[in-house]
A and B are shown apart, each in its own frame.
Chain A
Amino acid sequence: MQFGEAMISGVKGIFTMHGKDMNDIKQNKYINSLLENKQIEKIIFI
């Protein structure tokens, strides 16, 4: 089963990544694609 199928079924995700601001996040093209596809709903900066 791909996680995409699971997400459709309602599985949610909480993840971390290194970075200090939106620029750092956007520089990671893979993470950025999650943002563009609205698969990440909230970003919390610590």
Chain B
Amino acid sequence: MQDIDEVIRYFPNQLYQLLKNVSLQNQAIQPQLQEIRIRVNRPIILKLRQADILIDYKISQTEIMQTLEKLCENSIYAYKNQICNGYLTIKGGHRIGLTGTAVVDDGKIINLKYITSFNFRIARQILGCGNKFLEEIINKEENTIHNTLIVSPPGKGKTTVLRDVIRRISNGIEEMNFNGKTCGVVDERGEIAAIYKGVPQNDIGIRTDVIENISKSKGIKMLIRSMSPEVIACDEIGSKEDIDAIR
């Protein structure tokens, strides 16, 4: 994140000014900020890498709705599908999770009303963070990659590493004499490429095609049919459907 304004500009003016001042007073916030938790009538929590900072500002339901309208560029209807999926992606690749009262019809969420919470998740692309794993992943003899599983507890950087490794595989790795590969990414939750209005907000490499907001099983099949990838990548596999698509 280049500037905290990228994220806090969506808040109503009073809260925006407060968070701006707090971030100026505490220089650790911008480089370490992971999440901003907003809950109606409760204090705001800034989740940093090592600690939480509580901001004594209780946001009202009206301010929550003002924030939502700004996130949706004053057209909540246009963002209905994303809202029903429980998140919005904003410029910079940051993701805003939201909760409220789900309106369900025939087992499907058709709307989310009375929004009560936001979770602003700060996107951080760390170029080069995958470098130390490339020796393991790259199959030099056959100029391809090994089928690889990256494992860690939540919040430890799997997706960040995956994104960087895809970038390197896609671009090619000169120092390893590795030619770039056509990569297909199934970005089910929009966290790898963080596409905003059709443009990936993260660098995922010059030979990478992305399909997002689709299940991994469907996305893998679509990519293989249409884009002829040499490498397929997806985040957080584990269900039967995922594995059926992979094998």
Residues of A in contact with B (beta carbons under 8 Å apart): 1-4, 6-7, 10-20, 24-25, 28, 30-31, 33-34, 37, 39-46
Mask: chain B, 157-183; 1 = CB below 8 Å from A; 0 = not: 111011001100100000000000000
Chain A nearest CB from B167 CB (Å) reads 12
Contacts of B161 on A, CB cut-off 8 Å? 16, 44, 46
Knowing A1-B221, A1-B224, A37-B247, the reply to whether A16 touches B236 (Cβ < 8 A) is yes
Residues of B participating in the A interface, judged by any CB pair closer than 8 Å: 133, 136-137, 144-154, 156-159, 161-162, 165-166, 169, 220-221, 224-225, 229-240, 242-243, 245-247
Q: Please determine whether A3 and B150 come into contact, CB atoms closer than 8 angstroms.
A: no
Cβ 8 A contact of A16, one of B137, B147, B235, B245: B235
CB closest residue in chain B, given A22: B151
Which chain A residues lie closer than 8 Å to B242 at the CB level? Answer: 30
Given A11-B230, A14-B166, A30-B238, A42 and B247 touching (CB < 8 A)?
Answer: no
Determine whether the beta carbon of B146 is less than 8 Å from that of A41.
yes
Instruction: Indicate which residue in A13, A17, A41, A42 contacts B238 across the interface (CB closer than 8 Å).
Output: A17
